Structure 1
């Protein structure tokens, strides 16, 4: 450890000067209490929703990393490279139509996580849910619920979690049977009938 040659001032004198600068003892106490309660209010935010958002983000990032390493084995260890979530999303732009359909939702999940980090607001809005409820995810979500007794949740946080699970599963198995069947269906319904 490098020694700091600067001499610290007398802390009693510093404290006295702070009290003087702030207009007296009562003002110092009032200021400290206000700051404490503001900090406590931020600390006491909705930890359940915060946890759900962070879990969804981490889950998608895990499978995003797995997908990138599986489809691009020459990339090396992405964890070792310490690239950001957004940089990983940019690496997805590979021409894989299925994955491209996930990108807007994955980007939006990252936006929500960043919003949480910058203001500790754990709100997932109807507008957020609308971004997730587009295209492929919504079609699979509705198809999966068809004939089911349980109704689909419309709560935005539930939609966010369902999207995260769906995106993770789509990123997880690019060579699995489900993925091959999905690719076949996409080709057939896009006017191309060749088999994978």
Structure 2
């Protein structure tokens, strides 16, 4: 007794079309190989920037919200970004850039052939121009990493004696989304 029956019949039906199947397979195999050979350095660096930023974002929220075990809540990155204040703090300066970085990471999670140079990183670039005005970057990837570095710096809470100075310095800062409504 055979484990699989009917294969002889299947082969006889497919045999007349075998050359067509092979041409189709070869065409699809070329596409597969092209995807497999995509440069993964950009993907890895975007993912690393996202993971590092999430580490500091989680710590910031845990400290500012007084939640000792914030990881047990299992918030998504987007939910954590939404919890950032939109005004009056250093974190409000980077909120939109953090959301943009998450959007970029999500694009890479769903498509392997993302061209980072074609993506909108204006929310990050604006922050970079303010805090590193003389820095020159050759690519959006370098800008993403530069933003991440600035954002991490803004998420590190200063010692209590410096917190008042930060609070005063950023008391007039407000983050707005693309249609100019204040972000909550």
User: Matched residue pairs, number?
Assistant: 172
- Structure 2 residue 161 is the aligned partner of structure 1 residue 168: no
Structure 1 contact 108–131 (Cα < 8 Å) conserved? yes
Cα shift at 1:13: 2.9
Structure 2 unaligned segments of length 5 or more: list them.
174-184
- Residue in 2 aligned with 1:60? 53
Secondary structure of the corresponding residue to residue 74 of structure 1:
coil
Secondary structure of the corresponding residue to residue 106 of structure 2:
helix
Cα shift at 1:171: 0.9
Cα shift at 1:100: 1.8
- Structure 2 residue 122 is the aligned partner of structure 1 residue 130: yes
Structure 1 unaligned segments of length 5 or more: list them.
1-8, 146-150, 191-196
Q: In the aligned structure 2, how far is the partner of 1:22 from the partner of 1:178?
A: 78
Structure 1 contact 128–156 (Cα < 8 Å) conserved? no
**Structure 1 stretch displaced more, 164-173 or 17-26:** 17-26
- Residue in 1 aligned with 2:142? 158
Question: CA 1:25–1:54 in 2, change beyond 3 Å: closer, same or farther?
Answer: same
Structure 1 contact 60–164 (Cα < 8 Å) conserved? yes
Cα shift at 1:36: 2.4
Structure 1 contact 19–25 (Cα < 8 Å) conserved? no
Cα shift at 1:105: 0.6
Cα shift at 1:166: 0.8
Q: In the aligned structure 1, how far is the partner of 2:82 from the partner of 2:10?
A: 52
- Residue in 1 aligned with 2:181? none
Question: CA 1:39–1:62 in 2, change beyond 3 Å: closer, same or farther?
Answer: same
- Residue in 2 aligned with 1:91? 83
Correspondence list, 1:168-187, <5 A: 168-175=152-159, 181-187=165-171
Cα shift at 1:115: 1.1
Encode CA deviations 1:44-66: one digit per residue, 9 max, x unaligned. 11111111111111111111111
- Residue in 2 aligned with 1:77? 70
Structure 1 contact 57–109 (Cα < 8 Å) conserved? yes
Encode CA deviations 1:39-98: one digit per residue, 9 max, x unaligned. 2211211111111111111111111111111112336332x3332111111222475532
Encode CA deviations 1:125-174: one digit per residue, 9 max, x unaligned. 3652433121x4421111xx4xxxxx522421111110011111211225
Secondary structure of the corresponding residue to residue 121 of structure 1:
coil
- TM-score (structure 1 length as normaliser): 0.71
Q: In the aligned structure 2, how far is the partner of 1:170 from the partner of 1:137?
A: 12
